[in-house]
Amino acid sequence: MWAGRHVVVGVTGGIASYKSCHLVRRLTEAGARVDVVMTRGAAEFVRPLTFEALSGRPVLTSLWEPDRALAHVRLGREADLIIVAPATAHLVARLAHGMADDFLTALVLAATAPVLLAPAMNDEMYAAPPTEANLANLVRRGFGVVGPERGPLAEGHTDRPGRMSEPETILHHAIRLLKRGSAWAGRRVVVTAGPTREPLDPVRVVTNRSSGKMGHRLAQAAWYRGAEVTLISGPTSEPEPIGVQVERVETTAELKAAVARALPGADVLVMAAAPADYRPAGALDRKRPRQDGPLNVAMEPTEDVLLGTKTLRKTGAVIVGFALETGEATEKAAAKLVRKDLDLIVANDALEPGAGFEVDTNRVTVLDRDGGRHQLPFGTKAEVAEGILDLVEVRLG
């Protein structure tokens, strides 16, 4: 994502400026060219030398350097992205009022590149009406804002917002600012992921090998493109995607109920979950000891979650199913596409090396309702997610 990108990181005079060292480090490690611009206040907290060492480039602090006349205008045009982290209350106020009294504010005022602000300040400063109005003004003008978050501040603990978002979170929001596309703005996307667990008794469950990786990557990728995303996930050890609203479920019945709540009004449904087709009929209410001898468990079919959404779908919504099979995956998927009235179905074969459950890669063929067949290149699940969303985007119009 970052290789070859040119990023300006603006640093202002807040305690959180120490975290910006890590942000610059992460960007340069990922292959970005980073120019750091510091306010005079920032240089009171971290020496420009630190950022020069981390970025491998001279740090810009003053408008009045002899060799750099007009560098503030050039940088804001050449850069792919400007991140200001931390953004103090003072900086937010200056930007909101179009001031250009130092290198950073002049650069942002003249910039054509997108700008992401990571405000960080005392909770009272953040809640103060002028700060609130200034930030609202900048959001209206198209600035991206990440945070501030609740959590400990340098001056003590508070559960009100003020703390700067962590560098990793800032990077995810930066990717969204770079990737967002008009086809996805204001769209609501529901993604399901992971296995379900059907109880045998209060301790034991029947489950499957789904890791949730494919669904989590799809949810993250849809959010990067600018959608509002709800991820309904069965039990998985995958970290929650940034920016995505996550709802946890356990059984197929819970998954069905969560989808029914989330689906009305949604523009896209991607059913990447692997809900159980069968569940034990009548779970025991106590753990059964081994001494009781052989256990025969009667299994009953669960309800088909995807089929059950037919009456809840908004007209024009793009509905995507998954068919994980063990052999003849595309033929079985084609039949499922018709039976469940889907726009797209993603077929993959659990027996193929590097595809299906538990691995980080996938090889899939996507069938569409018009008879099209799209063989996506073998790749990581994040790459495959992008390929699937490209096909969704075509149908979103």
User: Closest separation between CB of residue 10 and ligand FMN, Å?
Assistant: 9
Q: Is 30 in the site for ligand FMN (CB under 6 A)?
A: no
Of 13, 215, 241, 243, the residue at the interface with ligand FMN (CB under 6 A) is 13
Helices and strands: H and E segment counts in the chain: 13, 21
User: Closest separation between CB of residue 106 and ligand FMN, Å?
Assistant: 12
User: Closest separation between CB of residue 157 and ligand FMN, Å?
Assistant: 15
Question: Tokens standing for 189?
Answer: 């996307």
108-137: contacts with ligand FMN (CB under 6 A): 120-121, 125
User: Closest separation between CB of residue 161 and ligand FMN, Å?
Assistant: 12
Q: Are strands 149-150 and 161-163 parallel, antiparallel or unpaired?
A: antiparallel
* Cα(125)–Cα(13) distance, integer angstroms: 14
String marking each residue 276-315 x if it binds ligand FMN according to CB under 6 A = ----------------------------------------
Question: Which residues touch 82 (CB under 8 Å, ≥6 apart)?
Answer: 7, 8, 9, 10, 76, 107, 108, 111, 113, 114, 115, 116
User: Closest separation between CB of residue 90 and ligand FMN, Å?
Assistant: 4
Question: Tokens standing for 290?
Answer: 């081994």
208 part of the active site: yes
44-103: contacts with ligand FMN (CB under 6 A): 88-91
Burial class (CB in 10 A: 0-12, 13-18, 19+), 315: exposed
| Secondary structure, 3-state, 311-322 | CCCCCCCEEEEE
Q: Count interface residues toward ligand FMN (CB under 6 A).
A: 15
| Secondary structure, 3-state, 51-107 | HHHHHCCCCECCCCCHHHCCHHHHHHHHCCEEEEEEECHHHHHHHHCCCCCCHHHHH
Q: Which is nearer to ligand FMN, 123 or 267 (CB)?
A: 123
Of 36, 42, 116, 229, the residue at the interface with ligand FMN (CB under 6 A) is 42
Q: Is 324 in the site for ligand FMN (CB under 6 A)?
A: no
* Cα(333)–Cα(323) distance, integer angstroms: 6
Q: Is 12 in the site for ligand FMN (CB under 6 A)?
A: yes
Could you tell me which stretch among 11-19, 170-178, 296-304, 347-355 binds ligand FMN (CB under 6 A)?
Answer: 11-19
In this structure, the number of other CB atoms found within 10 A of the CB of residue 141 comes to: 10
User: Closest separation between CB of residue 92 and ligand FMN, Å?
Assistant: 8
Among residues 122, 137, 208, 348, the one annotated as catalytic is 208
Q: Which is nearer to ligand FMN, 15 or 284 (CB)?
A: 15
Which among 228, 214, 224, 247 has a CA at the least distance from the CA of 320?
A: 214
Q: Which is nearer to ligand FMN, 1 or 110 (CB)?
A: 110
Active-site residue list: 208
Q: Which residues bind ligand FMN (CB under 6 A)?
A: 12-16, 39, 41-42, 88-91, 120-121, 125
